[in-house]
Amino acid sequence: MNSVEYKKKKIVCTQCPLGCKINVIYADADEIEIVEVKGNRCKRGLEFVKQEITDPLRVVVTSVKVEDGEISMASVRSDKPVPLRLMQDIMKILKETKVKAPVKRGDVVIQNILDTGSDIIATRSVNRKK
């Protein structure tokens, strides 16, 4: 007989400006089952908790190297949240990534990174050295 382990977690919801402090109790067995949720003031909080417990997502924000640019780095971000479990692998790829100047804000630096459906896009323009 498998015993079900119940876990408690406090999560601050980031889906709206309210920043609800949500307490969740869930069963961590073969599949995660949410037993109790308290503190959310809207349905978005409940959906956020479900996502955060099962497979949390984050937006990647960092910089990549620029070759022949007026500055040596350009800021980038993912256009959609990516699974937190892939963050180290994504950051490793971005650390090794070099783009050639000029770079325009909005340019896709890496398409569909690690098959997440998210593109890495430039958030700053960098001109070529003169």
129 is a domain residue: no
The residue type found at 108 is V
> So what's the pLDDT on residue 1?
46
**Number of structural domains found in the chain:** 2
CB 44 within 8 A of CB 16: yes
pLDDT digit string, tens, across residues 17-65: 999 999 999 997 778 888 999 999 999 999 999 999 999 999 999 999 9
Residues 68 and 84 in one domain: yes
pLDDT digit string, tens, across residues 71-127: 999 999 999 999 999 999 999 999 999 999 999 999 999 999 999 999 999 999 999
Boundaries of domain holding 110: 61-122
Inform me whether the pLDDT recorded for 4 exceeds 90: no
Chain center to CA of 97: 19
- Which pTM value belongs to this model? 0.84
30 is a domain residue: yes
